Amino acid sequence: MRYAMIMAGGAGTRLWPMSRKAKPKQLLPFIEGRSLLELAVERLDGVVPLSQQYICTGEAHRAPIRAALPQFDDEHILGEPTGRDTLNAVGLTAAVLAGRDPDAVFCVLTSDHLIEPVDVIREKLRIGLEVVEQDRSRFLTYSIKSSFPATQYGWVTRGAAIDEAGGVYRAQQFKEKPGPDEAERFHNDPAINFNSGMFVFPAAMFLDAVKWFKSEAYDGLMRIGDAWDTPQRQAVLNEVYPNLPKISVDHGVMNPASADPRIDICTINLDVRWLDVGSWTSYAETLAADAQGNRANAMNLHIDSSNVTVVSDDSGHTIATVGCSDLIIVHTADATLVCSWEQAQKVKQLASLVDEKLQ
């Protein structure tokens, strides 16, 4: 049977002061009044039934997710006691699903990306599920044509066609966060694309791969899976999960799997607009710019200012600038951020320094 899991565990500290521990970026309704998590759920419409959709998130975010998405009950929210990176989020899902349905195939979606148009991703999700259902030795990753030579993303090299009409190819190689020269080469090669962080896995085979490549995680995940539908679920989860090795699914499974003949790694390239909304500079790309490059989601006034991004959660508050350039201004009820455009990545560092009540 087909399932889906949306990863929603990120802290989003580069989007402080709007993104906080109690309400991380995936829950902020700042994409035309909708949150990134809501948009991720919408991608599954007509692809996987709601009863077979899950959200994997920090346990602390269960209540706000239930409030924002009441269609998800507690059984469909997999709460991590603490974040242990993506291998364990996917592994937890695989353990739960495989324990209930040995034939489970599930897609893994992210909750921090803007992907348009939605009908394209829905169709490619259907194709990906079909490809893995046809051969349970297959793992499938979705790739995105690069828009710039990024050093902060993973990349995947496309190989021979499996289904050229459906856009399905074998994946030859994975590369995590290359240096600038290598990233430039990847960007100029049409066969090498961003690895989107979205996948399709057969649950049982994914657990086999964890056993082969990261056995110290496998034993713990199986303990959790065995206890999931028993009264010991929460006790075992709380005991075991925080001690699992913290590692990404790319490093822990996909990289070694790409060289293992027991697993057939496939990729589908998505012809979509894909934006990783992980910083204020990337969020700015979701806003329309005026003739001077100023962008805003709130009331604003500018004189002789250019490339100023204004963000506010107060519709009645006006932000005004005179003679400013290359700035980001973010206003909330209890904190205001002003930073230069080129220093936006340091917001994460700033968020770690503020008082606990502002985190």
List pLDDT tens digits, range 109-152.
999 999 999 999 999 999 999 999 999 999 999 999 888 888 88
pLDDT tens, residue by residue, 291-307: 999 999 999 999 999 99
Same domain, 271 and 304: no
* Residue 59 contacts residue 49 (beta carbons within 8 Å): no
Same domain, 228 and 286: no
* Residue 157 contacts residue 307 (beta carbons within 8 Å): no
Q: Is residue 11 predicted with pLDDT exceeding 80? A: no
Mean pLDDT of 255-261: 93
Residue 315 is predicted with a pLDDT of 85
Count of the separate structural domains present in the chain = 2
* Residue at which a domain ends, from 259, 276, 293: 276
CATH number at residue 55: 3.90.550.10
Residue 175 is predicted with a pLDDT of 83
Rounded CA-CA distance 18/331 in Å is 8
Q: If we measure between CA atoms, which residue out of 26, 75, 70, 76 comes closest to residue 54?
A: 76
The end-to-end CA distance of the chain, in Å, is 41
Residue 23 is predicted with a pLDDT of 85
* Residue at which a domain ends, from 276, 303, 337: 276
Same domain, 135 and 201: yes
Same domain, 113 and 209: yes
Q: Is residue 173 predicted with pLDDT exceeding 90? A: no
pLDDT tens, residue by residue, 63-102: 999 999 999 999 999 999 999 999 999 999 999 999 999 9
Q: How confident is the model at residue 359 (pLDDT cuts 50, 70, 90)?
A: confident
Residue 174 is predicted with a pLDDT of 84
- The pTM of this model reads 0.93
Same domain, 56 and 187: yes
Average pLDDT, the chain: 94
pLDDT tens, residue by residue, 223-234: 999 999 999 999
Q: How far is CA 85 from CA 7, 47, 129, 238, in A?
A: 10, 26, 24, 16
Same domain, 270 and 304: no
Residue 116 is predicted with a pLDDT of 94
Same domain, 209 and 334: no
Rounded CA-CA distance 44/344 in Å is 32
Mean pLDDT of 146-165: 88
Same domain, 290 and 172: no
Same domain, 239 and 342: no
Rounded CA-CA distance 301/317 in Å is 11
Q: Residue 266 corresponds to which tokens in the numbers above?
A: 């496939």
Mean pLDDT of 202-221: 98
Residue range of the domain that includes 319: 282-358
